[in-house]
Chain A
Amino acid sequence: MPNVVVGHNVVITRGSQIAIAASDFTIPQGKITAIIGPNGSGKSTLLHAIAGLLPVSSGTITVLDETPVASQPRISYVLQYTTVPTGTPLTVAEAVAMARYPGLGLFGRPSREDKKYVTSAMERLKITDLAKRHLTELSGGQRQRVYVAQGIAQDHAILLLDEPLTGLDITSAKTIDSIIHEEPDRGCSVVLTTHDLEEARAADHVILTAGRVVAFGKPQDVLTTENLTNAYGLGSLHEHQSTDLILPAEHHLGDHSH
């Protein structure tokens, strides 16, 4: 299986702190890859580095056979809806249409094809009826659907999503989940971060992080009790030897470590 992303001996720092210590990893083409790990384990940092938004301190990341920065025109990155300010007066339709800026430059007028991409993305995310609504008038789930629509309206070979399903209502979560599973059929590779072990198990490929890449590969090979115990540092996990163990919610993890 060809890889769209290959990381070799990658070290990433944020300020004076090492966010990811020397790690190797791969991301296969046309598959869904889940990056899972505790809070502060470097999931978003890794996603940022793959997107070329954060340089590696040492080692190399190759994206689509080029450097991450050179590959940016073929990467679409959906940020967490909570990290995007809502103060800019934008309607839903305008926000999604911004995804076509890369091909338009400073003055180019959107073509019929550009409009088709935008319309299709809005239909797939079921936000057509919200087109004229202002971003501030939407719920968190609706806003996340807008940002995913923006993500898929952009020309891309890789779709990165930072915790796309966290804290969403059921309708939004289901809609976005179906998009995640449709994208590989369209030839796109999907990489998402998650806290949810079940979501990671449903992926084709998993990267487990804990300040470094603890393991990567097929879910059944990576999400073992031993690896999860290593990553989460939970002594109580030793009591559950079943591979079907379900991790407690992230904010409850501290309780189990005592």
Chain B
Amino acid sequence: MEWFLDPFALGFQQRALAGGILAGLMTAVVGTWLVLRGMSFFGDAFVHGIVPGVAAAVVFDINPLLGAAAAALVMVLAIELVNRQTALGEDTSIGLLFVGMLALGVIIISRVDSYSGSLTTILFGDALGVTSQDLIIQAVLAVVVISAATLFYRPLLALSFNADKAQLWGLNPKRAHAALLVLIAAAVIGSFQSVGTLLVFGLLVGPPATAALVSRTVPRMMLTAAIISVFSVWIGLTLSYHLNTAGSATMAIVPIVLFFIVLAFTRLRTHRRERVLSHA
């Protein structure tokens, strides 16, 4: 029992767990729509895209959440601009912004004396450095994100099914898509301090992708993804304590390992079922 309780005996460890759980809940709900809409590459680019905003916030000593929000806005507008002004595919515009924003972030942070330390914190997070104030902001964002995802359930489901049908059903797919972008931004901004800008992507895609392997409805997929997220944060921090590894990275790798375990299990089950049917 002590093996499970020791990692959370101290205040900063409990805050790390609470911050991770809030990040996990937000990313599970938003990530479900991200995976269903086939926007994982956008999600990956997006989490890199906020790096210059956070870097600028570090340089100018302002709230990193504001910097991240500004960078997220620039990222989305620039992708839209490239999409509308050129015949290039969306993946190309996302790729351009992905590299451009990440490079800009590294350039900005390289002007700081503690360059490598600051960059590491931005990219890989500082789970054990989460403050009570960070938790309050995260909790507010989590309530907003989960409420908005519930409010937009039908438009987002219709959009995932087919944008033309959503339009004909009066569920405004453009507004639903814009709402999804805002939700992704809010979830990433509310999570990056706990798990870092790079590793938040693990929680954004890993739990929903794993949940998709075993869920038959979208609400169940969201619920399963949330459970996997919370489990990943908890077991990740526990393992990180005992193995003396980076907390954020250990949290982020758990859902990916879980995905392959569940994939192997489901393939094995399908194979067995097919064998039984072929012998019947």
Contacts and interface: CB of A to CB of B under 8 A. Distances in A.
B210 to A, nearest CB: 13
A83 B171 CA distance: 19
A84 B216 contact: no
A6 interface: no
Q: Tell me the interface secondary structure of chain B in the complex.
A: helix
A96 to B, nearest CB: 12
Interface string B41-79: 000000000000000000000000000000000000000
B167 A53 contact: yes
B215 A89 contact: yes
Contacts of A134: 216
Interface in A87-145: 87-91, 94-95, 98-99, 101-102, 104-106, 134
A79 interface: yes
B216 A91 contact: yes
Contacts of B164: 48, 51, 53, 77, 79
Contact of B221 (A79, A84, A89): A89
A206 interface: no
Size class of the B contact interface (CB-based, 8 Å) = 20 to 34
A79 B155 contact: no
A88 B215 contact: no
A111 to B, nearest CB: 16
A76 interface: yes
Interface in A48-63: 48, 51-53
Contact of A90 (B154, B168, B217): B217
Contact of B169 (A84, A90, A101): A101
Contacts of B167: 52-53, 72
B217 A91 contact: yes
Nearest to A72: B168
A161 interface: no
Contacts of A104: 154
Contacts of B217: 89-91, 94
B225 to A, nearest CB: 12
A98 B158 contact: yes
Contacts of B36: 87-89
Given A106-B154, A134-B216, A88 B168 contact: no
B262 to A, nearest CB: 15
Nearest to A53: B164
Contacts of B155: 106
A102 B169 CA distance: 5
Interface of B: 36, 38, 151-155, 157-158, 160-162, 164-165, 167-171, 212, 215-218, 220-221
- Nearest first, the 7 closest Cβ-Cβ pairs linking A and B are A88-B160, A101-B169, A102-B169, A102-B170, A84-B162, A53-B164, A72-B168
15 contacts: A76-B168, A77-B165, A77-B168, A79-B165, A85-B38, A85-B162, A88-B36, A88-B218, A90-B218, A91-B216, A95-B161, A98-B158, A98-B165, A102-B169, A102-B170
Interface of A: 48, 51-53, 72-73, 75-77, 79, 83-85, 87-91, 94-95, 98-99, 101-102, 104-106, 134, 154
Given A85-B162, A89-B221, 4 more contacts: A73-B170, A85-B38, A85-B161, A91-B216
